[in-house]
A and B are shown apart, each in its own frame.
Chain A
Amino acid sequence: MSTDTNTAVETKRESLFSKKNRKLLKDPLDDSNPITVQVLGICSALAITVQLQQAVIMSLSVLFVMIGGNVIISLLRNLVPDRIRIIVQLVVVASLVIIVDQVLKAFQPDISEKLSVFVGLIITNCIIMGRLEAFALGNKPGPSLLDAIGNAMGYAWILLVVSIVREIFGSGAISLPGMGQVKFLPSSWFISEGGFYENNNLMILPPMALITVGLIIWIQRSRNQALIEEN
């Protein structure tokens, strides 16, 4: 009996996990990844991936702004006047970002200091404005929410991978918010202590972030030939 009513609801209102909706979540992780395929939001991806904890906080901030922006714009989609729709999107994104910035300053002051202007720059992150304009304005809140989660996660996993690589090779450590930096290499390994190992300072500099992102793109395209563009 209960299964009957469930299927009835599903056929009427399309299940949250229908094939189409799963695609919304899954595509941005790989086939239409905002960073590696669409090459959006690169600026912040290069600048704040020195440490894992910064990348985690940045990803959470983008996730929050992305979900908030997509859902709000989707709810307002029939009310927003066409002529000022970009301004409306900008105002919604900007206020969400300011809220994030204020919350970080209050609860994570050190990380907020390290992220400095890049939290504010989420406002101009093309991923967010792009999804609002391309998706949320024309879809219901449910799918918009999934689209937001998908895209934010697509952004996040690249950030996390890049920052893990950079932090391990650049500082020989891993850091998480609230735990501080955990150094896992014994200090006797380092040349300064008479050992053989030295941290690669190049990894800390922005060029290595670009190269790491490039490596991810390379691996992704050799696995998924469909992404390779023909000339």
Chain B
Amino acid sequence: MAINKNGTGYTFGFAIVMVVVVGAALAVTAMSLKPLQQANAADKKMMDILGAIKVDSQRDNAKALFAEYVTSRVAINASGTQVSVKQGDVNATDATDPFNIDIKKDYRSHKPAKGDLAWGNADDLNFPVFECQKEGETYYVVPMVGSGLWGPIWGYVAMEGDMQTIYGAKFDHKTETPGLGAEIKEDFFTVKFEGKTLEEVGPTYFSVLKGGAVTNEHSVDGITGGTITSKGVDEMLNRTMGIYLKYFNNEQRAQR
């Protein structure tokens, strides 16, 4: 019996078999490559954290340098209380390791309402802080994530030991406009944050201003043509710092 190649039954059968075969092949590929990809992502994260404290690293030495500079990894909750602390080697499979807190995922699932700088619905989240030692000084690296014009933006800001002064910053983005919003990852922008301080009372601790405005020690000039991305950086900084400053204040009280 000849099969009618253009019959509806054959077409459906072909489509179903094709989808199953292709689906299985892709699933096998994705699962077998996942460990390598995760290791790459972890290396990149270490490079970014080291970048915030101005330590240059490559993929092959990121792990060693991270172990050398980052003394402890702390997780805090939304009210600024320390929940857990880890030292020593990063364990990629340990979900309680603050290094493995996926703040991008948390941000997606707990997206704050527009303009909600207090991040009212973040109560059940944990936030990582990376305590670093470099040339005898202590630095606190704070990861942050927010929204730009087209997609997510994120960054790492290093605070000095006084927990008020910004030591270094590193920003990155997924799909911001090249030449405009995408410039937030360039050094000329991040270098402006260095040495600036946070205001002690919120909700606006720091501002990224529009269009050549006069800046003071609590603000930097935004990117021309990248207003919405600059605003995204501004909002991300304030929202995240609102939470971390509670922790920093607790720490300082404890040190006194």
Contacts and interface: CB of A to CB of B under 8 A. Distances in A.
B29 interface: yes
Interface of B: 5-6, 10-11, 14-15, 18-19, 22, 25-26, 29-30, 33, 36-37, 40, 43-44, 59, 175
B59 A109 contact: yes
Contact of B37 (A79, A88, A106): A106
Given A105-B33, A106-B33, A80 B14 contact: yes
A102 B11 contact: no
A109 B19 CA distance: 29
B26 A99 contact: yes
B6 A103 contact: no
Contacts of A79: 5, 14
Interface string A71-103: 000000001111110011001100100110011
A196 interface: no
Nearest to A112: B40
A82 B14 contact: no
A105 B37 contact: yes
Interface string A116-131: 0100000000000000
A98 B18 CA distance: 16
A107 B33 CA distance: 9
Contacts of A83: 6, 11
Given A91-B18, A105-B40, A106-B36, A81 B6 contact: yes
Contacts of B40: 105-106, 109
A78 to B, nearest CB: 8
Given A102-B37, A105-B37, A106-B37, 17 more contacts: A79-B5, A80-B14, A81-B11, A87-B15, A88-B14, A95-B22, A95-B26, A102-B29, A102-B30, A102-B33, A106-B33, A106-B40, A109-B40, A109-B43, A109-B44, A109-B59, A117-B175
Contact of A81 (B14, B22, B29): B14
Contacts of B175: 117
8 closest pairs, A vs B, by CB? A106-B36, A109-B40, A106-B33, A81-B11, A95-B22, A105-B37, A102-B33, A106-B37
Q: Chain A: interface residue count, which band?
A: 20 to 34
18 contacts: A79-B14, A81-B5, A81-B11, A81-B14, A84-B11, A91-B22, A95-B26, A98-B26, A98-B29, A99-B25, A99-B29, A102-B29, A102-B30, A103-B33, A105-B33, A105-B40, A106-B33, A106-B37
Interface in A58-80: 79-80
A110 interface: yes
Most chain A beta carbons < 10 A, residue from B10, B18, B43, B59: B18
Contacts of B30: 102
A64 to B, nearest CB: 13
A83 B37 CA distance: 38
A80 B175 CA distance: 37
B38 to A, nearest CB: 9
Contact of B5 (A82, A105, A117): A82
Nearest to B15: A84
Find the residue from B15, B19, B40, B43 having the highest chain A CB count within 10 A. B40
A88 B13 CA distance: 13
B37 A82 contact: no
